[in-house]
């Protein structure tokens, strides 16, 4: 017999089921996003490996001291959510980066990234959590360059995102010189091309052949 009695109403959110990998014990599913530029100053996160309008963002070191300085600061936003979602767990955020030494100075450069997880509603942002990578160092005594990859793990408290809100991930690159007084102008850059290009007929970057320029973010979603 068909049950025609009223069924209980539920407001339980719809879950993401198409995940890249999951932590069954933690009840989370990690989804991989790629960061890139779609317009001048507009950076997005996408599950597709699209061609970014720029391969890298590059800034010069400004401070003439041996204190850490924030050199690069970029916000990457997901598309506006069409379904409510909840994120929780440990997120892993990689960052291809590089540094150019513009003077023949004996010194050691140090660098780390800070990743901030935020909620953006179109007018204001709320920080949820943040994490810092380990600090990498490079000694040099001449005009030089190095490239590499660095990852920050971020512990994300269970956070609900309503339909119409946006997940915002902020990348900050911090660096310092070992000398108290140095030549200004050392340059830092981070890659953010989902296709992991180095250059093409129009775009060029400071990365070398074989380098990775794909900014990848593994964000944990609640799948309980």
Q: Is residue 7 part of a domain?
A: no
User: Between the CA of residue 44 and those of 40, 74, 207, what are the distances in Å?
Assistant: 11, 10, 21
pLDDT of residue 109: 85
Residue 141 placed within a domain:
yes
Report if residue 189 sits inside a domain. Answer: yes
Compute the distance between CA of residue 50 and CA of residue 82 in angstroms, rounded to an integer: 21
d(Cα 105, Cα 98) in Å, to the nearest integer? 18
* Residue range of the domain that includes 37: 26-222
The answer on pLDDT for 148 being more than 90 is yes
**What distance in Å separates the CA atoms of residue 176 and residue 53, rounded to the nearest whole number?**
29
User: What is the pLDDT at residue 2?
Assistant: 47
Q: Do the bridges between strand 85-101 and strand 215-222 make them parallel or antiparallel, or are there none, so unpaired?
A: antiparallel
Structurally, how many domains does the chain consist of? Answer: 1
More confident residue, 87 or 17: 87
Per-residue CA distances from 212 to 73, 74, 95, 157, 190 (Å): 20, 19, 9, 30, 10
> Does some domain include residue 77?
yes
Residue 18 lies in a domain: no
On average, the pLDDT of the chain sits at: 87
Q: Is residue 5 part of a domain?
A: no
In a domain, residue 4? The reply is no
Nearest C-alpha neighbor of 190 from the set 47, 54, 46, 48: 54
Residue 46 in tokens: 């996408």
* pLDDT (mean) for 86-108: 89
- What is the band of 9 on the pLDDT scale with cuts at 50, 70, 90? very low
Task: Using CB atoms within 10 Å of the CB of residue 6, give its burial: 0 to 12 exposed, 13 to 18 middle, 19+ buried.
Answer: exposed
Within-domain flag for 191? yes
- Domain with 140 in it: what CATH number? 2.60.120
Percent of the chain at pLDDT exceeding 90? 61
């Amino acid at each position: 017999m068909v049950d025609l009695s009223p069924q209980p109403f539920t407001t339980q959110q719809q879950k993401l089921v198409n995940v890249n990998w999951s932590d069954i014990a933690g009840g989370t599913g990690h989804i991989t996003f790629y960061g890139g530029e779609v317009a001048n100053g507009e950076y997005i996160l996408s599950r597709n490996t699209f061609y970014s309008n720029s391969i890298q963002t590059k800034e010069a070191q400004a401070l003439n001291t041996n204190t850490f300085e924030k050199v690069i600061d970029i916000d990457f936003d997901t598309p506006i959510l069409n379904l409510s979602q909840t994120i929780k767990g440990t997120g892993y955020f990689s960052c291809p980066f590089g540094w150019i030494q513009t003077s023949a100075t004996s010194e050691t450069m140090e660098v780390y990234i800070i990743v901030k997880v935020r909620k953006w509603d179109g007018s204001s942002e709320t920080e949820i959590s943040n994490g810092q990578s380990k600090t990498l160092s490079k000694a040099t005594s001449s005009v030089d360059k190095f490239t590499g990859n660095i990852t920050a793990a971020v512990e994300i408290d269970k956070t609900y995102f309503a339909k119409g809100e946006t997940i915002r991930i902020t990348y900050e690159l911090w660096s310092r010189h070992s000398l108290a007084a140095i030549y200004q102008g050392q340059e830092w850059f981070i890659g953010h091309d989902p296709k992991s290009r180095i250059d093409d007929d129009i775009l060029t970057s400071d990365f070398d052949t074989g380098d990775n320029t794909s900014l990848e973010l593994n964000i944990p979603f609640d799948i309980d």
